[in-house]
Amino acid sequence: MKTKLHIIVLSSLIGVLLILYVIQYRQYSEFIVRQNHLLGEKIDTLKNVISDLETRVFWAERSNNVSQHRLPDQIVFCNDTLDLSNAVIREKVEREFYSLLSKQGQIQLYLKRSLRYLPMIESKLRESGLPEDLKYLAIHESALLPKIRSRSNAVGLWQFMRSTGRLYRLKISRYVDERQDPVKSTDAAIWMLKDLYRKFEDWPLVLASYNGGVNRVQRNIRQQKTSDFIALSLPEETERYYFKIIATKLILGDPVSYGFIIDEDDYFYTPKTRSVDFSIYANQMSLEEIANIAGLDLPYFKHLNPQFINAFLPRGSYTFYIPGDTYPLFVKNAETLAHLNFSVENEPKRDEPGE
């Protein structure tokens, strides 16, 4: 009887031990599986890092040797195909291509500024039905610097002369120069480009007239009895302008292929901004007072609003841009001021001038 009891107890202990062993084995197996999974993730991460480094080294080595880069046989610009198998055309493009490619620091700055204004420009071009390739005009004209001024006193992203800016309804005064407003100057540039295309129905001629003037291009067409841009004899600056835009697209349209790699964190800071239409009823307000209402310091406010060129604004109506997250504070503070009236768009828009 005791022997049977011993056997039963021993069998029970063995069963318990087996159960514990199975539980521990399963737990250990699950631990091993988890560790293998984590190890696999780390290995994949390292592979990606190594691959990225290899890519960077490869393109960095290529970028240091300009002669390694070759032009394609053709390039599409504004939906037109430019045949680069033509030796004369290819030489003209290569002249501008290699010249721009040698300015590596400048190209890097183009890329770092690109998120600041190009999304807005691309969106407006699409909405207007114009080719997005026209964004390369702004890059070439101004290096995406809204306050830049040429030796001939052309100003802004699109380099409007004073008379042309006013023709396209941009305000220019002692206090405001909307040629320096990225949003309004882009609207004006699109208006102008549409007018030019209605005249010429040819994008190379549009670009030539954008650079050299409508009258000059029309005069050359009449005198030479051809409207073929490639066949026209134009002033050197005007002739080269088109090919410079082509070169800009070639490089900035595919910067990685030419050794220009930029991480997301390397782009210049670009806040989401909101445009505010407002009217001043007092004799004048300082920019500092307006900045304070929005909770911004003056240098940052002026950076977001390069169109304001004086420390004060007289009585009148204006548009300015502030970060979307500061708008509630602006509303709260502005509502207490009797000499200021304002309205705002319903939705925030990204980098309307941006930073």
Higher per-residue confidence, 237 vs 8: 237
- pLDDT for residue 280: 84
Q: What average pLDDT does the segment 198-208 reach?
A: 97
Give the CATH fold of the 74-266 domain.
Answer: Lysozyme (1.10.530)
pTM of structure: 0.78
DSSP result, 255-291: GGGGT----GGGSPP--EEEEEEEEEEEEEEEHHHHH
Q: pLDDT value at position 31?
A: 62
Indicate the domain borders of the chain. Answer: 1-64, 74-266, 272-350
Given a contact cutoff of 8 angstroms between Cβ atoms, the answer to whether 156 and 180 are in contact is yes
What pLDDT, in 10s, does the model give residues 154-179?
Answer: 999 999 999 999 999 999 999 999 99
301, 291 Cβ separation under 8 angstroms? yes
User: What are the start-end ranges of the H helices in the chain?
Assistant: 2-63, 87-101, 104-128, 135-142, 162-167, 182-200, 203-212, 214-224, 236-252, 287-293, 298-304, 327-334
Per residue in 279-314, pLDDT tens? 888 788 899 999 999 999 999 999 999 999 999 999
Alpha carbon separation from 2 to 11, 12, 13, 16, 350 (Å, rounded): 14, 15, 16, 21, 87
